[in-house]
RNA sequence: GGAGAGAUGGCCGAGUGGUCGAAGGCGCGCCCCUGCUAAGGGCGUAAGGGCCAAAAGCCCUUCGAGGGUUCGAAUCCCUCUCUCUCCGCCA
C-alpha cells in the first residue's frame, strides 16, 4: 500500500513512478474519488460530533431534572441523518481502499528501465559453467536414472505439477534444506521460524498477495476460508503485523523452511517438464524487518546471504537487477539469482530478493517507534529465497552429473548425507 | 467434541446506560527537592483517521471482532473469534 498522504500531496510524481512499471494511474478518477471521500467523511464527522454533543446535553438536563424532550427529538433526527451519512462514507471508503490496495509499490530510483525480463540488468557472475566431456542430461533424466524422481507416481496421486522423491533424492532434498537453515542461523544471524502453512486472507492482504492475486493461490474452503501459503514470506513477514517495535529490536532476521503452494494459473504449458514449476515445492525463506534508513543495505546483505548458499554448493550463478516492468507488485527493488542449468543450457531463477520498503508494513500496520520523532512509523520489510530447495536440487543433479549416471554430492552437503560422496543408480 | 471462566491503554487492574479515552497502580519521560545507587513531590505519557501547505489547534473513531437496542453503549442483547481451566479424544 502506498502512503495515502504522499498520493494526495504528490500525485504527479507517484503517477510518473508507477508509469515506469507500465501502470497507468487514473489521476482524474483518483481526484474525484478522493474529493467524494473527503466530503463524506467531513459530513459524517460533523453529524457525529453534533449527535455526541446533543446526547451529552440530554444527560446533563436529566441530571438537573429538566425537561429533555426537545433534545431527545433532535437526537432522533441526528441519529437518522448520521446513519445515512455513515453508509455513504462506508461505500466511498471501501471503494477508495480497494483502489489503494490495487496499486503496486513505487520503484526505487536505481531500478533499471524496461518493459519485461529482457531488460533486466546482469550485475555479476559467479563460477564458471562446467565443461562436460559428454552430453549433459537434464535433471529429469538424471533423476530417473537414479530411480528417485517419480513424476508418474505423483501424477497418479495428485496430477500434473507434483513430484515424488525416493531414497537418496529425498534425502538430498532434506539435506539441502538443513544445510541452508544451518548456514543462515549459525553464520548469518537469522532466527529460525516454524509458522503456519494455512493462513488467513488478512495475512495475505498484509504481504500483498490479496486482493489482486487470488487466482495464484490455493484456497481451502470451510467455515472460515484459509489459503495455503505461496511462500513463507507470508506467515513470517506477518510476525510483525500490528506491532510497534522498539528501535533496539531492529533489525529482525528470520529464516523459515516451508513448503509453498502455487496454483500456477496462467502458466499452462510453461515448464511442464521436470520440477522447475510445481504446485508444491520447498523453499528456505529469508525475511528482514529493518529501520527504513537501513533497508537498502539490508537488501545487499540479504542477497549476499542467498548467494552464499550457491557459493558453498559451488553452483555457477548470476545476479540480475530486475527492470521496472518485471518487478513484483509489492517490491521497490528486486535482485534475482539465476543458477546455471547445463541440461537447459541457460540460467534459471533460483532466488528473488526484494525490498518492499514500507509497502507491506503499511498493509500490516507493522511499525517501529522512531526515537527521533517519538512516533510510530512503518518499518521496512525485505524477503528473499535463501534458496528454493527444489530448484537447488535440479541444479545439483544437472551440474554434478557424471557420465556413468551417478551424481557427485557437493562437499558442503556431505555432512548432511552421512558422508556419502556420490549418488549412484 | 462437552462444561465453565475470561478478553479494557506498554503492563496490572477498576469501571453494569450519560460530562469515560476510561479511576488507581506499575513502568517510562521531564522537572523539583535531597550532596551523594534511598525516599518524597509536580507534570506528562495509546493508536488510527480527518480539517490544515505544515505546525498549533480542533474534530472523529477505537475498551477482542461484527451486528442490534437507545437521544446516548466499555457497560444491555445477539453472533463470531481468541485465551484459560476441567473432562473426552488425539500426533
**Per-residue pLDDT tens over the stretch A151-187:** 999 999 999 999 999 999 999 999 999 999 999 999 9
Which segment of A145-149, A172-176, A301-305, A311-315 scores lowest on mean pLDDT? Answer: A145-149
On strand B, nucleotides with any atom < 7 Å from a protein CB are 10, 18-19, 47-54, 59-61, 71-72, 81
Cite the active site residues of A: 262, 277, 349, 352, 391
Q: Express each pLDDT in A112-157 by its tens digit.
A: 999 999 999 999 999 999 999 999 999 999 999 999 999 999 999 9
Starting at the earlier edge strand, list the strands of the sheet with A280-290. A121-126, A317-321, A333-341, A346-355, A380-388, A280-290, A252-261, A191-192
User: How many Å from the CA of A374 to C1' of B25?
Assistant: 25
Most confident of the ranges A45-59, A205-219, A224-238, A293-307:
A293-307
The per-residue pLDDT for A67 is 79
How many CA atoms lie less than 13 Å away from A337 in the CB half-sphere?
A: 30
Q: Residues with Cβ < 8 Å from A185, sequence gap 6 or more?
A: A191, A192, A255
How far apart CA A90 and CA A49 sit, in angstroms, is 17
Q: Residue A219 has which C-alpha cell? A: 484456497
Question: What is the ipTM for the molecules in this complex?
Answer: 0.83
Average pLDDT over residues A67-71: 82
How far apart CA A100 and CA A211 sit, in angstroms, is 11
- Listed in sequence order, the DSSP H helices in A147-266 are 151-157, 167-186, 201-207, 233-237
pTM (predicted TM-score): 0.93
| Contact (Cβ atoms closer than 8 angstroms) between residue A234 and residue A204 | yes
How far apart CA A158 and CA A280 sit, in angstroms, is 11
The per-residue pLDDT for A171 is 97
Residue A372 — pLDDT band, cuts 50, 70, 90? confident
Cis peptide before A211 (omega within 30 of 0): yes
Nucleotide nearest to A242 (CA to C1'): B47
How far apart CA A174 and CA A164 sit, in angstroms, is 13
Nucleotide nearest to A63 (CA to C1'): B18
pLDDT at A66 over 80: no
User: How many Å from the CA of A196 to C1' of B87?
Assistant: 29
Residue A225 — pLDDT band, cuts 50, 70, 90? confident
Nucleotide nearest to A77 (CA to C1'): B71
Burial A340-361 (b: 16+ CB within 10 A, else e): bbbbbeebbbbbbbbbbbbbbb
Nucleotide nearest to A79 (CA to C1'): B71
Starting at the earlier edge strand, list the strands of the sheet with A219-220. A198-199, A226-228, A219-220
The per-residue pLDDT for A105 is 95
Domains of chain A: 26-101 (1.10.287.40), 117-423 (3.30.930.10)
User: How many Å from the CA of A243 to C1' of B57?
Assistant: 29
Q: Closest Cα to residue A37, out of A111, A102, A99, A129?
A: A99
Map residue A96 onto helix, strand or coil: helix
Q: Closest Cα to residue A384, out of A288, A295, A257, A290?
A: A288
pLDDT at A398 over 90: yes
Residues near chain B (nucleic strand), Cβ < 7 A? A 4-5, 9, 38, 41-42, 44-46, 48-49, 51-56, 58-60, 62-63, 71-72, 75-76, 78-79, 223-224, 244, 365, 367, 369, 375-376
Higher pLDDT pick, A17 / A267:
A17
User: How many Å from the CA of A381 to C1' of B59?
Assistant: 34
Q: Compute the mean pLDDT over every residue in chain A, rounded to the nearest whole number.
A: 93
The per-residue pLDDT for A165 is 96
Nucleotide nearest to A8 (CA to C1'): B53
Amino acid at each position: 500500500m502506498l502512503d495515502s498522504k504522499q498520493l494526495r500531496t504528490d500525485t504527479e510524481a507517484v503517477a510518473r513512478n508507477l508509469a515506469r512499471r507500465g501502470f497507468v494511474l487514473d489521476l482524474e478518477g483518483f481526484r474525484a474519488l478522493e474529493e467524494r471521500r473527503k466530503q463524506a467523511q467531513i459530513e459524517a464527522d460533523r453529524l457525529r460530533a453534533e449527535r455526541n454533543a446533543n446526547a451529552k446535553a440530554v444527560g446533563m438536563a436529566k441530571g438537573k431534572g429538566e425537561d429533555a424532550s426537545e433534545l431527545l427529538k433532535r437526537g432522533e433526527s441526528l441519529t437518522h441523518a448520521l446513519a445515512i451519512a455513515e453508509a455513504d462514507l462506508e461505500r466511498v471508503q471501501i471503494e477508495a481502499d480497494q483502489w489503494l490496495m490495487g496499486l503496486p509499490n513505487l520503484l526505487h530510483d536505481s531500478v533499471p528501465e524496461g518493459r519485461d525480463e529482457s531488460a533486466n540488468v546482469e550485475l555479476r557472475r559467479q563460477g564458471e559453467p562446467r565443461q562436460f566431456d559428454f552430453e549433459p542430461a537434464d535433471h529429469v533424466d538424471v533423476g530417473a536414472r537414479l530411480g528417485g524422481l517419480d513424476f508418474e507416481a505423483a501424477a497418479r496421486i495428485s496430477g500434473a505439477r507434483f513430484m515424488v522423491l525416493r531414497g537418496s533424492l529425498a534425502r538430498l532434498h532434506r539435506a539441502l534444506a538443513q544445510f541452508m537453515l544451518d548456514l543462515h542461523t549459525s553464520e548469518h544471524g537469522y532466527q529460525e521460524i516454524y509458522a503456519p502453512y494455512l493462513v488467513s486472507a488478512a495475512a495475505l492482504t498484509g504481504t500483498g498477495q490479496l486482493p489482486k492475486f487470488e487466482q495464484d493461490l490455493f484456497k481451502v474452503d470451510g467455515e472460515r476460508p484459509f489459503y495455503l501459503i505461496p511462500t513463507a514470506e507470508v506467515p513470517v513477514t506477518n510476525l510483525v503485523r500490528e506491532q510497534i517495535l522498539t528501535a533496539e529490536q531492529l533489525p529482525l532476521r528470520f529464516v523459515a523452511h516451508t513448503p509453498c503452494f502455487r496454483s500456477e494459473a496462467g502458466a499452462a504449458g510453461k515448464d511442464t517438464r521436470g520440477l522447475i514449476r510445481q504446485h508444491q515445492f520447498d523453499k528456505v525463506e529469508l525475511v528482514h524487518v529493518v529501520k527504513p534508513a537501513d533497508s537498502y543495505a539490508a537488501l545487499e546483505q540479504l542477497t549476499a546471504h542467498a548467494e552464499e548458499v550457491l557459493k558453498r554448493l559451488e553452483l555457477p550463478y548470476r545476479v540480475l537487477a530486475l527492470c521496472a516492468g518485471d518487478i513484483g507488485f509489492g517490491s521497490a527493488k528486486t535482485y534475482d539469482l539465476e543458477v546455471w542449468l547445463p541440461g537447459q543450457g541457460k540460467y534459471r531463477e533460483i532466488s528473488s530478493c526484494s525490498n518492499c520498503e514500507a509497502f507491506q508494513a503499511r498493509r500490516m500496520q507493522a511499525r517501529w517507534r522512531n526515537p527521533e520523532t517519538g512516533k510510530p512509523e512503518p518499518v521496512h520489510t525485505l524477503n528473499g529465497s535463501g534458496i528454493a530447495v527444489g530448484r537447488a536440487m535440479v541444479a545439483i543433479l544437472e551440474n554434478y552429473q557424471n557420465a556413468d549416471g551417478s551424481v557427485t554430492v557437493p562437499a558442503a552437503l556431505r555432512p548432511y548425507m552421512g558422508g556419502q560422496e556420490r549418488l549412484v543408480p
